[in-house]
Structure 1
Amino acid sequence: MGTVTFKTLAFGATADEAFTGAVEDSKHRHGHNGYTGTIAEKTTFTVIPESEHKGRQKRIVASELIDEEDQRIQCKRGPAGAINCSGTKAATRYREQHGLEGKHGDVWLFFGWAAH
């Protein structure tokens, strides 16, 4: 059993709703047996404060936190990181691709390490 990194976008009225949806979608796509190397292995998340990513590309910030082995997200059994992406080009594209234009909620980037 090893570890791999993941990054996934999800939409929800709250971060909790987006996280739950992302986990359930990943379990549906990759199975319920564990060791998928995806967000399906996560049970919690920690929000990265806006002050750490404001005005920066969110995926790059996530990659930096992974590469730096940031203690908030470094454990494969610990929480995923979460960054609110609303207002970014990636969020707009995600909303368009998933038919979410005009719906209340935010696009979140979840990322971290997972068992594989």
Structure 2
Amino acid sequence: MGAVTFETLAFGKTVEEAFSKAVEDARNMHGHGGYTGTIAEKDTFEVIPECEHKDRQKRTVARELIEEGDKRIQSKRGPSGVINCSGTIEAKRYRERKDLKGKHGDVWLFFGWASR
């Protein structure tokens, strides 16, 4: 099977909660059969430290890590990468779209390679 890249935002009180929600949402949208090319194929994640993305566009950093073949996220069978997006314009818009204003938690960007 091949692999494709994915990017998805999710909200949670913890990164673990956000990851679980993102995986479940992807399974509901794309089925439970596997090889969806989404975060549904992942069972772990690797948090990218703030020092690597501070004051930078989060999606740009994610795409650079994918393009560079960063060892933490290069495998379609390995972990998803994840960056905390809270405080960004994209996170604010996500919270508004999902009616999350005033709720405690963070917006996370999950990204990487997935089986397709």
Judge same fold: TM > 0.5, yes or no.
Answer: yes
1:90 is paired with a residue whose SS is: helix
Q: What's the C-alpha RMSD, in Å, of the aligned pairs? A: 0.2
1:104 is paired with a residue whose SS is: coil
2: CA distance, partners of 1:51 / 1:10: 21
Task: State the match for 2:20 in structure 1.
Answer: 20
1: CA distance, partners of 2:25 / 2:90: 19
Task: State the match for 1:9 in structure 2.
Answer: 9
Task: State the match for 2:110 in structure 1.
Answer: 110
2: CA distance, partners of 1:4 / 1:69: 13
Which ranges of structure 2 fall in alignment gaps of 5 or more residues? none
1: CA distance, partners of 2:91 / 2:44: 22
Which ranges of structure 1 fall in alignment gaps of 5 or more residues? none
1:68-107 C-alpha deviation (Å, 9 max, x unpaired) = 0000000000000000000000000000000000000000
1: CA distance, partners of 2:4 / 2:35: 10
2: CA distance, partners of 1:58 / 1:40: 21
**Quick one: percent identity of the two aligned structures?**
72
2: CA distance, partners of 1:86 / 1:25: 20
Which residues of 2 match residues 1-116 of structure 1 at below 5 A?
1-116=1-116
- Find runs of 4+ consecutive structure 1 residues off by over 2 angstroms: none
Question: Displacement, 1:112?
Answer: 0.1
1:24-69 C-alpha deviation (Å, 9 max, x unpaired) = 0000000000000000000000000000000000000000000000
2: CA distance, partners of 1:92 / 1:39: 22
2: CA distance, partners of 1:57 / 1:93: 15
1: CA distance, partners of 2:77 / 2:16: 18
